[in-house]
Amino acid sequence: MADSREGAPVGSGKAARSDGSTSVSVSVKIAQIAELAGVSVPTVSKVLNGRPGVSGETRSRVEELINEYGYRKPSDNKQKYVELIFRELESMWVGEIIRGVEEVARRNRAGVVVSKFGLHDADASVDDTVGRRPLCVLSVFQLPEAERERLKAKGIPYVVFDPVDDVPEGVPYVGATNFKGSQSATRHLIALGHRRIAMVSGPDHAFCLARAAGYRSALEAAGLPVDPDLTVRSQLTREGGQAAARTLLGRPDRPTAIVTANDMQALGVYQAAREAGLRIPQDLGVVGFDDMPVAVWADPPLTTVRQPLSEMAASATELALALGRGERVPQLGLEIATELVVRQSTAPPQS
């Protein structure tokens, strides 16, 4: 994984030998320090930068590991690096994305800087990024046009990672095959014998609309009716999925399976099913989307569509670096294939 300190490249560290001594041949990343300490990456970042908000006990534990593994802050900012921008650093996806970016950056002899662009004046801004002059910028949300123009004026390539909404013409991006992913989820249920399949869809974001379209496409291709009463929109949360599933499962002719727009909604469907006295998958099949880490720990483990976040991040970094080198690229928009991961939340419907 890569460093997640705002405005600081990745450091290097020591590796333990069998005799207890150490060498400096292996790089130690901030995410590894976080894992060893049992804390989040932002917590280690606060310790490294002397920021408040960390208990004395945790700070001591992190500092001890930093010293033990030899993590060093760079002496200057001359190292070439890729800047990765998040709106929120607490997401469980942060580590997956950083891994993909850091892998490609390392092959290109570059470091990684992770920044947080918030909604308040105290947060970092594109001015800070321009001042650091990175090789390229990857953003996990859509930057406003004015900020994109600032980067362009300074010759800093910019790529959007996994865009939530439609990307403006000419803006490079890397996303996932949302339409095909949801289509494969619905086809899986149809192949099991389900004929009354519902969907808990999400807000009017481009990726949610694509997932809903994939669901409808699979039904139409199988000659099954697309019943508007079997689609309920909700927020992309467990509570939203639970409320939507209550509506669907309260119908006299309830569905035998439900496809959701993300895994959090699917976990909400689990809750609503148990409230209704239904068993998963015997009485109700459930398929999510994203393959969040919690999916495998659900009871039963959740069948879901995997978004290859590390691969997407690696592809976005390759694209951004190629643009930075002035290379001609085949296309500015890439969609990386999703994969249906079948677990125990789906089975043939009971007769």
- Tell me if 117 sits within 8 A of 124, measured CB to CB: yes
pLDDT along the chain (351 residues), means of 10: 37 38 48 84 76 83 82 58 83 84 92 75 66 88 85 89 86 94 98 98 93 97 96 96 97 96 97 97 97 93 95 94 87 93 96 65
**Per-residue pLDDT at 79:** 65
| CATH number for region 15-156 | 1.10.260.40
Q: Where in the chain is the domain with CATH 1.10.260.40?
A: 15-156
> Could you give phi then psi for residue 27, rounded to 5 degrees?
-75, 135
Q: What is the pTM of this model?
A: 0.72
**Per-residue pLDDT at 10:** 36
Q: Where in the chain is the domain with CATH 3.40.50.2300?
A: 178-307
**Per-residue pLDDT at 84:** 92
Q: What is the DSSP letter of 337?
A: P
The Cα–Cα gap between 230 and 175 comes to 28
Cα 275 to Cα 246, 256, 262, 269, 288, distances in angstroms: 9, 16, 21, 10, 19
**Per-residue pLDDT at 133:** 87
Question: Is the C-alpha dihedral spanning 41, 47, 48, 52 positive or negative?
Answer: positive
**Per-residue pLDDT at 28:** 64
Helix (H, G, I), strand (E, B) or coil at 145: helix
Start-to-end C-alpha separation, the chain: 49
Which CATH architecture describes the domain 178-307? 3-Layer(aba) Sandwich (3.40)
